[in-house]
Amino acid sequence: MVHAPAKEAIPLLTPHKMGQLELSHRMVLAPLTRCRSYGHVPQPHAAVYYSQRATNGGLLIAEATVISPTAQGYPDTPGIYTQQQIEAWKPIVDAVHRKGALFFLQIWHVGRVSTTDFQPNGQAPISSTDKQITPDDSGMVYSKPRRLRTDEIPQIVDDFRRAARNAIEAGFDGVEIHGAHGYLLEQFMKDSANDRTDEYGGSLENRCRFAVEVIDAVAAEVGAHRVGIRLSPFDNYMDCFDSNPVALGSYMVQQLNKHPGFLYCHMVEPRMTSSKNGGRSPMPPAIQEAVQWDFHRCWRV
Ligand SMILES: Cc1cc2nc3c(=O)[nH]c(=O)nc-3n(C[C@H](O)[C@H](O)[C@H](O)COP(=O)(O)O)c2cc1C
């Protein structure tokens, strides 16, 4: 009698316990900006889009969603700072939950990756700096930003905290703080874009202070078990790069580890396509080694 060979489990399809969440497989939908939330309000068609991608026990991360009116930098990206936006997210979240999937919202402030056209009263976008993103050959020109005053930073931290609370009110299972891709938090973290002389600039600890305050505030508001973060220390997207990405990434992971039960760190490999670097570059071996951090909830994408 011939026995059929034992079926080998496909690792991606095996269950995974992530904090208190029971995932039935390990394929996660990455956050993807769609620019279809007219008037910055999520639309009913998003319920169809996300539920099509939902599986029983799977995890989806919704597109980057802005925390305040100054956080906008792209047309028709959704927000999570008005009651109308919260109400509009609810049926979308319900549709995903009906399929048995978990749903996180990525919360976002673009900082200087914006133009005066997107800003309230046509004001300058805000940033760590007043240095404009160097225009490249894509033809896109971002406006010269206004450097945030030190006393304005607590308000932005609070906007992240409220956005996280609103996401939970809308029914999301948790939030992913967007700390990657050259947006506001990275503009503070990376030394190419942070030329401040206050306690939010200079040393690595100072440059990370704003991001750490956001992490602390969001974790205190909704519980660390419902919070993840996306980081891209090795990327140079949007003119944002660091002279020591290994030290930056390691420091940030240490800060996350101060929160028992912090859910995950979503780590981006240095392979974003841009017209500046001509495409994807492989992760250098030294960096590959460095990302083997002592952080077991770290994913790399
Ligand atoms: C159209 C598009 C929209 C994206 N939107 C987001 C976003 O909202 N938030 C984010 O963190 N990354 C965003 N990304 C980056 C993706 O999540 C992902 O990291 C990137 O596409 C690399 O993965 P891939 O090689 O599978 O495409 C976006 C990428 C694309 C192509």
Ligand 1 contact, 33 CB (< 6 A): yes
Residue having the nearest C-alpha atom to atom 18 of ligand 1: 30
What's the confidence (pLDDT) of residue 270? 67
Q: Are 207 and 187 in contact (CB under 8 A)?
A: no
Ligand 1 contact, 266 CB (< 6 A): no
Residue having the nearest C-alpha atom to atom 28 of ligand 1: 32
How many angstroms separate the alpha carbon of residue 210 from the centre of ligand 1? 24
Tell me the catalytic residues. Answer: 183
The phi and psi torsions of 3 (rounded to 5 degrees) equal -90, 135
Which ligand 1 atom is the nearest neighbour of the CA of 64?
Answer: 8
Ligand 1 contact, 63 CB (< 6 A): yes
- Alpha-carbon distance of 83 to 165, in angstroms, equals 12
Which ligand 1 atom is the nearest neighbour of the CA of 77?
Answer: 8
Q: Are 40 and 76 in contact (CB under 8 A)?
A: yes
Length of the chain: 301
How many angstroms separate the alpha carbon of residue 30 from the centre of ligand 1? 7
What structural domains and CATH numbers belong to the chain? Answer: 23-273+281-300 (3.20.20.70)
Q: Is 265 exposed, middle or buried (0-12, 13-18, 19+ CB in 10 A)?
A: buried
Q: What's the pTM?
A: 0.92
Q: Please state whether 99 falls in left (phi above 0), alpha (psi between -120 and 50) or beta.
A: alpha
Which ligand 1 atom is the nearest neighbour of the CA of 266?
Answer: 11
What's the confidence (pLDDT) of residue 294? 39
- Alpha-carbon distance of 67 to 107, in angstroms, equals 6
What's the confidence (pLDDT) of residue 299? 56
- Alpha-carbon distance of 113 to 175, in angstroms, equals 22
Residue having the nearest C-alpha atom to atom 2 of ligand 1: 32
How many angstroms separate the alpha carbon of residue 31 from the centre of ligand 1? 6
- pLDDT (tens, 9 = 90+) of the chain, 301 residues, equals 667 667 788 989 999 999 999 999 999 999 999 999 999 999 999 999 999 999 999 999 999 999 999 999 999 999 999 999 999 999 999 999 999 999 999 999 999 999 999 999 999 999 999 999 998 878 899 999 999 999 999 999 999 999 999 999 999 999 999 999 999 999 999 999 999 999 999 999 999 999 999 999 999 999 999 999 999 998 888 999 999 998 999 999 999 999 999 999 999 876 654 444 444 555 555 555 555 443 445 555 5
How many angstroms separate the alpha carbon of residue 172 from the centre of ligand 1? 20
**Short-list 101, 106, 123, CA closest to 114:** 123
How many angstroms separate the alpha carbon of residue 29 from the centre of ligand 1? 10
By three-state DSSP, how is residue 97 classified?
Answer: helix
What's the confidence (pLDDT) of residue 136? 81
